[in-house]
Amino acid sequence: MVAAPLLATGFRYCPACATALALLSEAEDGGAKERLRCPACGFTHWNNPTPVLAAVVELDGRVLLARNAAWQTRMFGLITGFMEAGETPEEGIRREIAEETSLEVSALRLLGVHAFQRMNQVLITYHAVAHGTVKLSPELVEYKLLAPGQVKCWPAGTGLALADWLRSRGVEPVFMDMPAPEPEPGPDGRTT
Ligand SMILES: [Zn+2]
């Protein structure tokens, strides 16, 4: 079992009654697990992975990769964002693509679902055929449009989904010797 980043989430107090949370072990079907629980009211911080949506955006036969303003290195990645309450994954990725690039999606297909354990996230990656003129949100500073044969994949998370899509196009993916792009900061300091 891979240890989830249990205490890295920043939770110290019960969101229901403000008592300090305690680290408790409990036996479950999958074996003993450690959880943060409130000794006063029983609230449990389950620390389930957060769903993150991602898209290989195809515009006029080329792949759009974008660089986040918060990334330290000059890395380009897929369009990503958090799934929001009240939307389906498909609605969520259409919304993210519209917000981040101003493009409209005409076809959407699931590429894969990958764990991203370092960030305690689950990545749901789509291929999106998009139309329109690219206009980046302030979150993104730069983008590239690459022919599938020019794309280099990163060996984790969304990079694996991108590699699967390239193979489906008959392109053998080339991987870079670099870590995955740094996560994207969310509106409340969370990251994708
Ligand atoms: Zn409590």
Per-residue pLDDT tens digits for 21-50: 998 877 665 666 788 999 999 999 988 999
Tokens at 128, concatenated: 């999106």
Cα-to-centroid distance, 20 and ligand 1 (Å): 8
Residues 70-80: tens digit of each pLDDT: 877 778 999 99
**What is the distance in A from the centroid of ligand 1 to the CA of 41?**
4
pTM for this predicted structure: 0.81
- Report the separation in Å between the CA atom of 35 and the middle of ligand 1, taken as the mean of its atom positions: 14
The rounded distance, in Å, linking the Cα atoms of 168 and 105 is 20
Q: Tell me how far CA of residue 58 lies from CA of 31, 94, 119, in angstroms.
A: 43, 13, 27
Report the separation in Å between the CA atom of 115 and the middle of ligand 1, taken as the mean of its atom positions: 30
Ligand 1 ion: Cβ-proximal residues, 5 Å cutoff: 14, 16-17, 19, 38, 40-41, 43
| In contact, 81 and 101? CB cutoff 8 Å | no
Query: Residue 141 and residue 66: Cα distance in Å, rounded?
Result: 8
9: CA distance to ligand 1 center in Å?
Answer: 17
Is residue 3 predicted with pLDDT exceeding 60? no
Sort strands 50-59 and 44-45 into parallel, antiparallel or unpaired.
Answer: unpaired
